[in-house]
Structure formats: structure tokens, C-alpha cells
Structure 1
């Protein structure tokens, strides 16, 4: 349990930044004993040079203990409450050195310094992950983005290991038997949360990139665990990296961080993190089995997203977490833009529409929606605002801004912003000022309408006009309206009208006799589409005949209608069955199939679910047999069939015996099959042990844990629940696997037993666990059956003073259950 003072407020940190100016920070991290998993802590020393206008301040530290505090070499009393180290009697107005020595805790939750032992070979790997404010778990520091220092790191660890930090190595000396101390070059000014260290026997591949003018050469490296080295497709990753660096160097100016290492790390909580010079990624981007083009594009998006942060987020950093949306939205936009322009993925924006943007519509429809520019009074609020509105809705708004000012002026404004605030912190106002200066456009009204209001508009066509509904703000939309006809029973585009929506009603050219009218059919704005009955009926029968981007727009809109209970869930699933086998864009197909199985599992009433699941399973099996051998479509239908097999028992031998031409029967697919069998009681201890022996990897162990506890045995589910809730017990990935086992499909009594302990234990879970584990327990442990809504309502009513971040998670889960109840009721009626 963390100290109450671990939360940081906007007011107190602003006062601290006003009083204290940082110069340098030298950090020594001693990992000599890191391979002894019984050792919970490691020594750390932070030496911070600062100037203060006040005689006292505090330094943030979530360590196990503080062993010494010195000011200019003089020993001071240790005042440490578990989150803050109070330092008094500072020389006012003079630079001084404050040294804090302590013992930090190794992590198994993906926060701070995460330690992992590879089950394949018993090798130990470590990496840090800090966003938004977990550097203080590793080193005493000033944990706020607007207080930057020049960092120099020294890491002590086993000789022969990869010991890495943001900057290149400059010195290496012996540190005892088989140990070495590596010193790294001093960084440019950095916020604490984007510093980084990695240590371990990582597999390493090297290359380089040289700027077109020959003036800049950047060493490149890719690293991963030794046991995953065969899955590190270095040529493709270096291709994307060089393309991105070349584009961004030209668009924004010189890359200033020296080297560019990219490390794929285990048990990662995020997709990636933009630590300058040492970017970390989840290992899930190393595909150990067949992957679809959409998966490769998604990885490219992430690689280039993080690369764009080297300028927006690292070179210039948001002053406070209320502007975190800006750096993330910028990087999200650039990830899609660069995937197309620098990496050659033609479906980049199509996949953005069908996956990322679609998820933002869902988040924006929940009661916890918030403006893109959210009010972030403290760190607790910041942690919960790394969400789909911050990323995907913000990127959608930024896309509108690019359309509004033009790409050339947008990039020119960015260059002005980077030059003006390099190695400092800035705000949204600073960014908009630079764009206005370059473009000559006043962006105040645009900012108010798009960034400072919550929710989204709905666009519908009626009586020859485009209607904008559902929002008080006069939010402008630059978009298109597509008019479609049925010609020889095929849906074809008659005309596409560009429109600028500035009010509630926008006139359209004549659309008489059209079979379907689709607002925003090229996805230029962020707004929900509402179809009239005639258009909806035509689209359900002919959506597969539209252009790829318009198909993605329509499928996203149809899923929104399911969730709004205006489209019967059975009609949606029938449309997927009809058009899915002809869908040739893997990103769109993947989204359709995911929504269809969710619809069957959650939105069909319980007494009809088995019948619906059987029909869906059979459709997946037929589409699997008909798909082109070895195609991405075949793989996606196989995965969908394996998910359907968890809902209704299925013969899977024909999938896995090698008789399906073109299918690579990977370990990942075999585990999906074992998990489906386990749900129906067809996986013994011996079966699962043999499967694990054949795949003795980290992924294999996690999959085995889920399958083992997915079996229809109340005792196994209870043990999984208990293990997941042990404070300091399981890793982040293990908690996910255990909860997936607890809530695997099956008889209601297997999961209903956890509803009462869930709500009774919520406050304790939030107080006792690190936030990453607590979030998993709160969200993934929420009861699945609509019959438990009274419990949820009762808890929310009885706990108005519960921590805001906790209440938000419960409110969102409650809202999703209410949507399921509404859709189920509409299906019955």
C-alpha cells in the first residue's frame, strides 16, 4: 500500500517547479544481485544539482527505504514517508547537490524496474517503465514533466550483459567478480518519466541510418530475449525505422538523441514507450506465429508513433498531464500518416477507422466521457486518462485540424513549436500559437469546439439536408456525403458531395431516388452516423460492395447501432456471416469478427445464446474451409472459430491435424484450442502439462495458466480468484490469465459466485495493490451477467466518496453491462 502522499496535485507541483530549478542528476543503479530472485531490492543513489528559492522541498521516491540524505556532502536527517523525501535547510538562491541513497523494489507489475525470468532458459531480464510517474519507483527524483534535468546514469550489472540507457555508453570499469559498471553519456534535458534503463542477456542486432544530406548518422539496434531471437524480423523493423527517421528528419528537423535502440520486453503493460534513444515495446509485436497484414501495419503504427515522440513529447514535453492528450494524439496521427507515407502500408488509415477510431466512439458514448483536454487535478486522474479519448479521439480531432490548416502549414507550425520550446515543457496554447502564426488562422474557436467539449455529434440525412445532432457546441465538420444507387443489384457510388458542417442543418444537392446515403463516407471527421431505415436495410445486404474505407466506416456505424439497440444483434451477425467471407481487408475483417463473437457472447439473451453460438460456430467453420489457403482471411476465420468454440463445444481436430491446406498450426493456435477444450471439460491435467512441455515459453506458461483454470470446476475457478488477489503475488500477465480462467464461458454458477466478494472487496483491492494490478482486478473481475446490475448500482450509490479513478472504472463497467441489458431486451422484444 502506497503512502497517501504518493498522489501529486497540480497546485503543489506547480509551486515546486516555480521554486526549484534542476541542473543535473547522476543516478547509479546497482543490479549485482538481480539474478537472485529472492532478493527484493537493489541499491540506488541519486545526486541532484539544483537551485531553490525556498529553504525546503521534497523529492519523490516510492522505494523500500532511504538510507542516506546529504546536502553538499553534509548528512541530513532522513524524513521519508514512503513516497516523499523531505529536504530542509537548502541554501536559498545557490546551486547545491542533494544526494539521496536508498533501496528500490524490483517489480513484477510492469511498473518501475520490472524483473523477469525466462522459463525457456532461466535467464533474467530487466527493463524500466515509468509513464506517467513511476521513475520514482526506481530513483529519487522530481517526478513531474515540467522539471527537466540532464541525466547521467551508471548501471552496475553482470559482465557480458546488455546494459543500456537513453544515451550511448562512455565508460566501462570492473565492479567486482564478473560484474561491470557502465557509465552513459549525459542526456539533454529530460523529464524523469522518459528516462530508461534495460539490463539482461538480450539478443542484439545492429544497423544505422544516415540522413539524406549525410550530416547525421544514427546507430540503430534491435533487442529482445535470447529465446525469441528467431522471431525478431530485423530487416522489416529496420526498414520501417529508417523510413520513419528519414521522413521526420525532413519534416521536423534533426534527430537529437544520438542512438536509436528499440527493445522488445516481456510482461509489458503498454504497447510501447517513447524513451528517447531507448524505446521499449511489448513482445507481442514479435510474431511467433503467422500474422496478418493488419498486425504488421499495427506494429508499424506503434513503431512510428513512438518515433514521432522523439520530437513531440521528448524534445518538447507537456507541462502538465492535462496536455498528455496532445503528445499522444499527435503521435497517433503520425503513426497512421507515417505508416502510409514512410512505410508503405496502404491500409493505415482504413485500419485506424475500423479499429482505433471505432473504439473511441465507444469510449465517447460512456458516462465517463470527457473532453480531449481533460481537467487533470492530480496524478490519480492522469493515470486514468490514458484512454481511447486521449489517443484515438484526440488523433481524430487532430486530423480535422490538419485538414483545416493544411498539412504543409501543420508541419511548419510544428517546426516552429519544436524550435521555440526545445528541451523544455510547453502547453496546448503554445502549440496552437505556433500553428496560428504559420497558418494565419485563429484556432481558438476550433479548440473550444473540438477539444474542450465532451461527446460527439451524430450526422444523419433527412429531407435533403445533413443534420448535426446531439451536441451543444457548434462543432465544425469538414467531411463528405456519399450518394449510392442500386444498379443491377449492386451498390455503386452516384456522387460524393464535400460538405462543411457549421450548424444544425447543411443543405445537400438533390439525392432523389438514392438507394443509400452515407454521411462521412470517407471518414474525414469524428461523428457518429445514423442511418434511416431504408439505407440501413440496403447496407446490410450490400455493404461488401462499397469501397474499402467506406466499408470500414459502415461496419463501425452498424456496430454502434447494435450497442444503441437500434439494430438487432442477430441482423448484425447475419451481415457478418454474409459479407465476411468476401472481405479482403484483414483489418476490417478482424474488427467485424471480433464484434460478432462479442455480440453472440454478451448481447444475445442467455436462453438464446447456445443457438446463436452454434450458428456462428458453423458459419466460422464454413468460411474457414472456403478461405484461400495460407491467406490472412483463412487465419482470421480460424481464430474466430476457436473463439466460437469456447461458447459451444466443437470438434477442432480437423483444424490442428495439418489437413487444412495453407494453415500454419502454431503453438498460439494450439493454445487457443486447448483453452476452448478446457472450458468444456475436455482438457485433463496431463493434456495441459504435455502442451506446456511442448511450448515451455513465457507465452506458453501464461496460456497454460488460463486453460488450467478455465475448466468447469468451481474449485479451480476459486483458486484462480484467490491467486489473482494475493497482494504482491502474481505478475501482471499472470493476473490477466487467472482472471480469464475465472470468467471463461460456462455455467453461470462458475462465475456468479464471485459477484459478492468482488463488490465487497473493491475498496481493499484499490488500496492494497499497485494501480496496474488493481485496474486488472477491477475491470476484468467485474461480473459479466446482467443479473448483477443491482449489485453494481448499490455499490456506486453506497460509495460516492470512493477514489475517483476506481469509481470511473466501475461506472464504465456498469455502463457496459447496462448496454448488454438494453440490447438483450431489444432482442427479446
Structure 2
């Protein structure tokens, strides 16, 4: 199933692929579909190569009119192609299996109406699960789909949906949809979505003057919750912003957005047919942070129509060319073209936090990563490729200038539209537009790993005036690179109303171990000095002692959300790094979160609160601190404005942490409609959260779960019930969940994900101890026998992270010592999980 970079490079040197004609029959039952592919391509005369096709049964292989014996040329994954002509036509006819893993052609049955819904997910290497294909991004071609399916279905692909025609003389034969060929694109951004999806339609006018049809799709049973007009508004805003910024009109003929079930990611940038996780169709109230996250996702995928689909990386080592740009541009678009003006605050708290965390793992890597094969790239959709890359782009913009940067991007699209590119292609255009030599910048920022830490070093005289000020830059021994930073230093003081406001700002270049800032000498020392004000660069920051005291007492007093977020992020970094006690961070959050106005900041702070309690406080104090935190969260929920976002988030957090009899009594009263905070609606999804909290606390068991499922027999209800059953705090329930997850291979991806979350949600961690040895004896078999997505969920999700003790490290080290050196991706995932336990032990040692 693997493909190396060397194999891909050799195949690309041999071939020029022109077109795929793909015929799919989706009327042949619930396990298999028929796939017939005709590929036309040029090759080096007399050469041999292979095409990728994951088949159940291979019926026919015909190369240039010669029938090849399937058993002689195929191993079920690759089909060997001997003695090619200069111009070739290949026909591959096969049965292929539907998947329930979110890879290939995923099949889902809606429990509400028993209707079947299909969708494809091809990134990285899974178009070969649907048709025969040269599965690599630099062998672009046109794709023409012809699909036979039940007549009452809708069928959507990259090209506009044609009128179907009867496939046979009777209705049982279904109908056939014959799509026009796509533009030249990579196989991983082709798409097919089929089933009785319903839609809302609209349109917009492109900067080219073309009318672009728009569609938003969802399952029938979810259409009542679909807020299509909000999605259309964001789409129009994104279109206008990107077409102006990129200087290139939207490159495809239509733009559909399809919310699909059991999706593994947030979304996928299929050209003109974006698929999105259907939890973004809100059947219950969600935090405003989730609404913003959906908006960023919509804008991210739209940016991919240019970065990724129109211009595509040559090989996966330049994946950042797709993802980092889409991440940066989606945040920029949200902040400048939509209602989400605080998007950079969210980026700082959420995305950069992810990047800092990933960049301190033993598996950290440069943004431009070494990708030797498909296994490498499949574990590289991480915080480096997305969030660090986007952060570094923001730093590049600060260095060269916004207009100069976008001018380089416009040159890039003008020069490379429809092509494949590498890092040097982008840098060439940015250098030409900005006049900057970016080779040294690239070497330091894109081609080295690790995160720097910046600290202020200042002295004052007896009158409190600054006599010296410097910025100190450090790096860890393993990744010692010191980088140039374009950043700002902000000085903050209290105004007459007590708010912390910026009174002075200096923007400068920082380089090396020490950079003096003479512009600040002679100024009165303010209440707080903030390095990297406006968050221009990518680096962890620390506060001087006086500023740290101010932050602890007055972080809620910042008038603006971004500096407040930077201070909170610094405190969290210091906690994770074992520089300050975790209990102090708990106190900081609980004292100030009630005044926080930004929903995304509240969401992240509550996650960090949970992590600090789970991993970083001393184990002997965890129970008491957790109980106190739960009481505080309940107080915050009761004190929050009626019907507010904060009220909802605090209630959800209380349900997660409730443990004492009194707390469980309150939780049960809420579920029963008693003691509900004024203005809070206990809707169905919140009911499941309250009920699961009662299950984890030992108050509810199977009977209550089954009764709730009768009331909510939807797909969402079934997932919630699966998670709740796995969370029952009894050895028998944990054993049943483990058996279903590890010993069996039948669970759909979404059910498996929900059960893993339930299995690991415990108050009594000794329930997980019996599974440590079983984990390490099982995961090699899981890794070798399951698809990548399913295996990674198990390897990461079931690692004994909550057992933060030396025995866990010892068991991990023993496993790694015996692991085949060739299992590099599995080794990486286990090492990353091990690092979490090691970091927890360091943090616990300073807590107290």
C-alpha cells in the first residue's frame, strides 16, 4: 500500500497522463461496486511501470488492445504495466469494496430513514480505492465520471451535475449520470458524493463575469438544521476577497459544499465539490467558537481552490504550500472580510497553541518536511504543516510587507496555474515582488525545526525609568537555530477606568541571542511589557517579573482580546514547560475566565484547564483541585448572563468535571429540568453531555443510556450512546469496549472515535491499568491490518496517557526497543504519546 518518493519520481519521468474515463455502478449491493477505468497516457517507448488499484476482484486489464491476465499483473494494490508504447490506452475493470473508515468510497446508512449515503475521501492515497489511477499529485489529468445509481439519488462530482438518464428498461436498473470532464487536476481532489442528499441552491458572479452556481447539501434528516444562507454569505465574502487578493478568478465551473456523515477531518478541498464534516450542521446550540471554526473551515477549503487545486505541490514534502497558505489566508479573510474580526485572536490561542505543542515533540520537523513515502505524509497533517506554517507566513508578511507578499502570490498563480510546484517556485515570485532575498530566510524558517523563546531583559533607575532593554532569544539544545524575527514590543498601562491599554509600541527586527531596544530607554516602566505584541512572529514569549505580577492580577483588564490572549498563552506555555506550577494556572483561569468575551478563548482555556487537571497537577492533589474546579465552573455557569455563550460553555465544562455526590446531584437535576441556569436550554446534544457526565460519575448505567437512545435514535444519538457505554466505570464495560475496538475490526470510523473517547474518560484511572500491557502487545497488529485512519485512531487514542507514571514510560520504551525500525510512522505516534507522559511528570514535579 505504500509508495515511495523515488517510485513516484521515476513514474513521473516516464509518463504524461491525459485523461481518465471512470464508469461506476453503485447498484450492485451493499459491499461492492463496479469500477471500470479507461486511462490514456503517453510513456517512454518500451518502458514498464505500474498503476494503483485497490481491488476486491479484478475482472479485466487491457493495455493497448492486449488483454493481460489479472493474476499475473496484480497483487490487489498495484497492476504492473509491461512494455508500454509511446501512446497508450489502458482499461481496468474491477469490483471494489465500499469502506466504513472514511477513506475511499465511504458508505453510511441513516438510521432515521434507512437511506444510503456515499462520499469519497481521497487525500492522501485513496482515489485508488475507487478507480485505477497513477496515485501521485504531479501526474495531473482530466477526469470524466459516469455513475449509475438508484434513480431517487442525487450524484455530485467536480463537474456540474448532468440530467440523469434511465440505465435500463425498468426502475430497478437505476439512472446514469454522465459528467463532463474536469479541468486538469490531481486525482486526490476528485470527488463523488451520491445518495438522496438534499440541497439549497444559489449563485454568485465571479470577477471574470462568470456566474458560479453554488450548492449546499446535507442528508434529508438534517436539512431542517441547515443554515444555508449563512454558508452562502461566507462563501461570497471569501470569493470576493480571494479573487481580489490572488488576481486570479475562481478556476472551476461551480462550487458545491456537502456536509457528509462520519467524516474524518474538518473538510476536504475537492475541486468544486468540497466535503465537510456534518457536525457543522448544528442541530443543537453550539458555542460561538464552533460557529467561527466552521467559518474558518469554509474559508480554508475555498482558499484551496487556488492553493492546492489550481496549483498543486509536486510531491508531499511541499504539502505546506497547500495547507499553510490555506490556513493563513482563511484567517486573514475572516478578519478582513467577515464578521469574525477577532479571527487572529482565535488563531493565536488555538492554531499557534497547536503549533507550539507539535514543535516541542520529539517528532518535530521542518515546515518543508522530508517525505520519503506515503506513510510519512499520512502522519504529517499536523500542527507544523498547518499552524506553524501559517504562523511563519504571517511573520513573512510582517517582514516583506502585506502588499509585496500578495503581489508575489499573484505572480505565482499567473506563472503556475494548472501546474505542480516546489518551494523554489514560490520563493522566486516572492523575491521578485518584494526585492528581498528569501533563501536565508527560508533556510532558517522553513527548513529547520523547533520554536524559539523570547524574554525581555530590562533595568530601571530609582524613578522607574528604563535604563536598558534587550530581547533575549533562546532555543533548545536539540534544535538550536536562532531566527530573525520582525516583531513589536507593546507597553501597557492602566487608563483612568482601570483598563490595561497600550501606551507605546515599537516594531523592530530581532536577531541573535540578544537584541537591544534603545527606543525604550528613558521611558517609564509600564505595568506590563509584552513581547511579540500583535503576534507578528512565531515564538514563545515570557514576561518580566513585574509584568508577570500584573498579568496574574489584571489579565481580565486588557481592553483588547489579542494582548490578553498572548499573556494567557505565555502562562500556559510556562505551565506545560514545567516553569510554573499547574495549580497557579488553574487559579489564573478560574479567576479570569468569567470576564472573557471571546468564545474561542473561553473554549481553549477550558480545554487547558482540563489538561492541567488531568496531567500537570500533583496526582495526590488532583481530586481536591478537580472538585474545586468543578464547583467553580458551576458557579460561573450560574453567574453568567442568561442565554449567553459563556453560560453554555461553563455548563458543558461542569458536566465534564462533575464527580462528587453533590455535583452529580446538580447534574442530574439539570438533566431532569430542575436547577437549570436561567436562559439555558437543555437541548438534545446537551442532554447527552449531561447524561455522559452522570455515567462517568457512576450515577447512570445502561438503562439510562438505552432510554435516552430511544428518544434520539439518530446517527448522532447512536454515537453519543456508544461513547457513553464505553465510559461506564466498570471493568466489564471497559473490557467490552476494548474488545470492540481492538479485537474486532468492524466498527465504523465515527463509532470507533466516540468509543475511544468514552473508554478513556474515567475518574478512577486504575480502570485503565489492565489494558497497558494489552495495548503494547496489540498495536503492531492493528497498524499492519487496519487502514491508516482507523489504526492511527487506536494507536493514539488508546495510549495510556492518563497513567502519568514511570511505569508507562518503561512499558513504552520496552515496546519501542523491540519495534521494527521500518515501522517509522508507528514509532512516531508512540513517541509523541510518550512525550506527553514525560512532560506531565516534569510539570507535576514543580507543582505544589
Matched-pair contact (CA < 8 Å) for 2:206–2:250: no
Aligned residue number for residue 342 of structure 1: 337
Q: How does 1:365-380 map to 2 (within 5 A)?
A: 365-380=360-375
Aligned residue number for residue 298 of structure 2: 303
User: What CA deviation, in whole Å up to 9, does each residue of 1:105-155 have, x standing for no partner?
Assistant: 111100000000111211110000011111111111000000011110011
| 3-state secondary structure, aligned to 1:25 | strand
| 3-state secondary structure, aligned to 1:754 | helix
- How much has 1:735 moved relative to structure 2? 1.0
How far apart in 2 are the matches of 1:396 and 1:169? 38
How far apart in 2 are the matches of 1:571 and 1:550? 20
Matched-pair contact (CA < 8 Å) for 2:542–2:570: yes
Aligned residue number for residue 463 of structure 2: none
Q: Which runs of 5+ in 1 are unaligned?
A: 1-5
How far apart in 2 are the matches of 1:454 and 1:26? 43
How far apart in 2 are the matches of 1:728 and 1:174? 38
User: What CA deviation, in whole Å up to 9, does each residue of 1:643-676 have, x standing for no partner?
Assistant: 1126885221443416422112111111111111
How far apart in 1 are the matches of 2:336 and 2:627? 43
Which residue of 612, 617, 640 corresponds with 1:599?
612
Aligned residue number for residue 132 of structure 1: 124
| 3-state secondary structure, aligned to 2:23 | strand
Q: How does 1:611-650 map to 2 (within 5 A)?
A: 611-645=624-658, 649-650=663-664
- How much has 1:531 moved relative to structure 2? 2.4
How far apart in 1 are the matches of 2:704 and 2:240? 51
Q: Does 1:47 align with 2:56?
A: no
Q: Does 1:810 align with 2:830?
A: yes
Q: Does 1:473 align with 2:481?
A: yes
| 3-state secondary structure, aligned to 2:164 | strand
- How much has 1:725 moved relative to structure 2? 1.5
How far apart in 1 are the matches of 2:499 and 2:429? 49
Measured at CA, do residues 584 and 472 of structure 1 come closer, stay the same or move farther in structure 2, by a change above 3 Å? same
User: What CA deviation, in whole Å up to 9, does each residue of 1:514-542 have, x standing for no partner?
Assistant: 33322112111100012233322321111
How far apart in 2 are the matches of 1:557 and 1:674? 35
Q: How does 1:615-694 map to 2 (within 5 A)?
A: 615-645=628-658, 649-650=663-664, 651-656=666-671, 657=673, 659-694=676-711
Aligned residue number for residue 285 of structure 2: 290
Q: Does 1:770 align with 2:787?
A: yes
| 3-state secondary structure, aligned to 2:533 | coil
Measured at CA, do residues 687 and 727 of structure 1 come closer, stay the same or move farther in structure 2, by a change above 3 Å? closer
| 3-state secondary structure, aligned to 1:115 | strand
Which residue of 52, 55, 67 corresponds with 2:59?
67
| 3-state secondary structure, aligned to 1:181 | strand
How far apart in 1 are the matches of 2:406 and 2:756? 45
Q: Does 1:203 align with 2:202?
A: no
| 3-state secondary structure, aligned to 2:377 | helix
User: What CA deviation, in whole Å up to 9, does each residue of 1:15-73 have, x standing for no partner?
Assistant: 1001011011101111013xx4xx32111011000111043210011222211100133
Between the two proteins, the alignment pairs up a number of residues equal to 816
Q: How does 1:279-678 map to 2 (within 5 A)?
A: 279-463=274-458, 464-470=469-475, 472-485=480-493, 491-508=500-517, 509-510=520-521, 513-546=525-558, 547-645=560-658, 649-650=663-664, 651-656=666-671, 657=673, 659-678=676-695
Which residue of 18, 23, 26 corresponds with 1:23?
18
| 3-state secondary structure, aligned to 2:370 | coil
- How much has 1:692 moved relative to structure 2? 0.7
Matched-pair contact (CA < 8 Å) for 1:474–1:503: yes
Q: How does 1:82-161 map to 2 (within 5 A)?
A: 82-91=76-85, 93=86, 95-161=87-153
How far apart in 1 are the matches of 2:718 and 2:387? 33
User: What CA deviation, in whole Å up to 9, does each residue of 1:737-765 have, x standing for no partner?
Assistant: 22222212132331111000001112111
| 3-state secondary structure, aligned to 2:535 | coil
| 3-state secondary structure, aligned to 1:44 | strand
How far apart in 2 are the matches of 1:401 and 1:486? 32
Measured at CA, do residues 562 and 647 of structure 1 come closer, stay the same or move farther in structure 2, by a change above 3 Å? farther
| 3-state secondary structure, aligned to 1:267 | coil
User: What CA deviation, in whole Å up to 9, does each residue of 1:247-271 have, x standing for no partner?
Assistant: 2222221112101010000111110
How far apart in 1 are the matches of 2:660 and 2:100? 32
Which residue of 237, 241, 263 corresponds with 2:231?
237
Measured at CA, do residues 506 and 647 of structure 1 come closer, stay the same or move farther in structure 2, by a change above 3 Å? farther
Matched-pair contact (CA < 8 Å) for 1:118–1:698: yes
| 3-state secondary structure, aligned to 1:652 | helix
Q: Does 1:822 align with 2:842?
A: yes
How far apart in 2 are the matches of 1:665 and 1:727? 36
| 3-state secondary structure, aligned to 2:847 | helix
Q: Does 1:750 align with 2:767?
A: yes
How far apart in 1 are the matches of 2:501 and 2:296? 32
Q: How does 1:708-787 map to 2 (within 5 A)?
A: 708-783=725-800, 784-787=802-805
After TM superposition, the structure 1 stretch with the greater mean CA deviation from structure 2, 490-499 or 394-403, is 490-499
| 3-state secondary structure, aligned to 2:241 | helix
Matched-pair contact (CA < 8 Å) for 1:125–1:201: yes
How far apart in 1 are the matches of 2:259 and 2:90? 35
Q: How does 1:139-218 map to 2 (within 5 A)?
A: 139-170=131-162, 172-176=164-168, 177-178=170-171, 179-211=174-206, 215-218=209-212
How far apart in 1 are the matches of 2:562 and 2:347? 10
Matched-pair contact (CA < 8 Å) for 2:668–2:690: no
User: What CA deviation, in whole Å up to 9, does each residue of 1:229-258 have, x standing for no partner?
Assistant: 111101100000111112222222111210
Measured at CA, do residues 757 and 802 of structure 1 come closer, stay the same or move farther in structure 2, by a change above 3 Å? farther
Matched-pair contact (CA < 8 Å) for 1:654–1:660: no
- How much has 1:333 moved relative to structure 2? 0.5
- How much has 1:309 moved relative to structure 2? 0.8
Aligned residue number for residue 3 of structure 1: none
After TM superposition, the structure 1 stretch with the greater mean CA deviation from structure 2, 725-734 or 325-334, is 725-734
Matched-pair contact (CA < 8 Å) for 1:26–1:47: yes
Matched-pair contact (CA < 8 Å) for 1:475–1:502: yes
Aligned residue number for residue 466 of structure 2: none
How far apart in 1 are the matches of 2:378 and 2:727? 31
How far apart in 1 are the matches of 2:404 and 2:310? 20
| 3-state secondary structure, aligned to 1:63 | coil
Q: Which runs of 5+ in 2 are unaligned?
A: 459-468
- How much has 1:469 moved relative to structure 2? 1.1
Measured at CA, do residues 647 and 308 of structure 1 come closer, stay the same or move farther in structure 2, by a change above 3 Å? farther
User: What CA deviation, in whole Å up to 9, does each residue of 1:424-467 have, x standing for no partner?
Assistant: 11111111111112222211111111100100111101132111
Matched-pair contact (CA < 8 Å) for 1:194–1:274: yes
